[in-house]
Amino acid sequence: MTGRTEWPGDSPDSSRAEKELSPQDPAERARAICLRLLTGTPRTRKQLADALRKREIPDDVAEEILSRFEDVGLIDDAAFAGAWVESRHHGRGLARRALARELRTKGVEPTLIQEAVSRLDSDQEEATARELVARKLRATQGLDRDRRLRRLAGMLARKGYPEGMALRVVRQALEAEGEDTDGLDESF
């Protein structure tokens, strides 16, 4: 024995181990599952509900436990969405559109998504796009102008930036480098 406590979820047979180690009461199992999942990282109500459903916790028990966790503040989708937007925008440079898409996949309500992504204003979003382009600009040196434009604008598009903003930011960065940008807007 290593002296290390085995937790449900540590082994590939986590659901079997969880059933063996957990009390038979579905409410106790649901509480244990939610607490374990929330220990590692914040989760949305939908993510926890999906985990409970996967572990065959009855829907009425899951609803009761999830509601109680919300009441005491252990589940807060609005706080989750705000923290997600802040983290992913500053860490990955994602724009509002990409952030909203990610939050939708996590099961966050549309009104909470809108509220969270609206905290990013257009100026902040454009400043982040400029930083991203500045970091990638050197890697495109030596390529022809159109290929550089496509690569840089494509990188911004994959991060959710609007096409007009992406093209404007890339064009300005290329101009600042001394690149001739006449006719770029018409060719794309």
Sketch the domain layout of the chain as residue ranges: 17-71, 77-117, 122-187
Q: Is the pLDDT of residue 183 over 80?
A: no
Q: Is the pLDDT of residue 58 over 50?
A: yes
Q: What is the pTM of this model?
A: 0.76
The mean predicted confidence, pLDDT, of the chain is 85
First-residue to last-residue Cα distance in the chain: 64
Q: Is the pLDDT of residue 184 over 90?
A: no
pLDDT in the model for residue 151? 92
SS3 55: coil
Q: For the purposes of burial, counting CB atoms within 10 Å of the CB of 89, is it exposed (0-12), middle (13-18) or buried (19 or more)?
A: buried
Backbone angle region of 94, left / alpha / beta, with phi > 0 → left and psi within -120 to 50 → alpha = beta
Q: Is the pLDDT of residue 10 over 90?
A: no
The total of other beta-carbon atoms located within 10 Å of residue 44's CB is 21
Q: Is the pLDDT of residue 33 over 70?
A: yes
